[in-house]
Amino acid sequence: MYSIGKFSQLIGKSVYTLRVWEKNGKLIPAYRTKGNQRMYSEAQLNEVLQIQAPSNKINVGYVRVSTNHQKDDLQRQYEMMELYLSQQGEEFKIIRDIGSGINYKKAGLKELLKLISNNQVDKLFISFKDRLVRFGFELIEEICNLHNVKIVVINSSEDTSDEQEMIEDIMNIIHVFSCRINGKRSHINKRIIENLIKANKT
């Protein structure tokens, strides 16, 4: 057993802090002596030291553009994310990705999910939800919840993705489905795509 003075030295906290912890119910002494001295157990010491042990988890920022033609925008996103994460005062890593928001096989996204599944991520930072994925954000959010990863959306306003990028994602979806439809109906699919393009230009 440890007196409050000895215990405070071992965990690197002041006696006053321990008294505050007791008052707040955070850490109650194992028992008190007849002289009303606080005493702490070996188990309590191990518990506090384990909690205070440095974590191997890091913060991760994720930035993405759809095509190689947008590398300037990707660099801009990277620099803004780097500035934001450096202000958090914690170790961080930034993952860059190039590919459609509906492409779930991107190298960066796969790297991110691997880090999360290996419990190496503390917080995930993204500028907008659709920077992560165009559809299915809730699924990745649930994966993060299972691994105690907090997703921080830096800009909580409406997503401001490039309009052309969104159109390309929609066109990719249509293309995938149209390829699966009987060839006799290909002219119908073509007309649908043409109408969508015209509607966007108006």
User: Which residue numbers are catalytic?
Assistant: 66
Contact 27, 44 (CB under 8 A): yes
Cα separation, 13 vs 103, in Å, equals: 50
Comparing C-alpha atoms, which of 61, 118, 68 is closest to residue 90? Answer: 61
CA triple 168-189-134, angle to 5 deg: 30
Cα separation, 74 vs 92, in Å, equals: 18
Comparing C-alpha atoms, which of 137, 130, 140 is closest to residue 99? Answer: 130
Cα separation, 120 vs 76, in Å, equals: 26
The alpha-helical segments, DSSP class H, found in the chain are 4-11, 15-24, 42-52, 71-86, 107-117, 129-132, 137-146, 163-178, 186-201
Q: Which two tokens stand for residue 128?
A: 């907008």
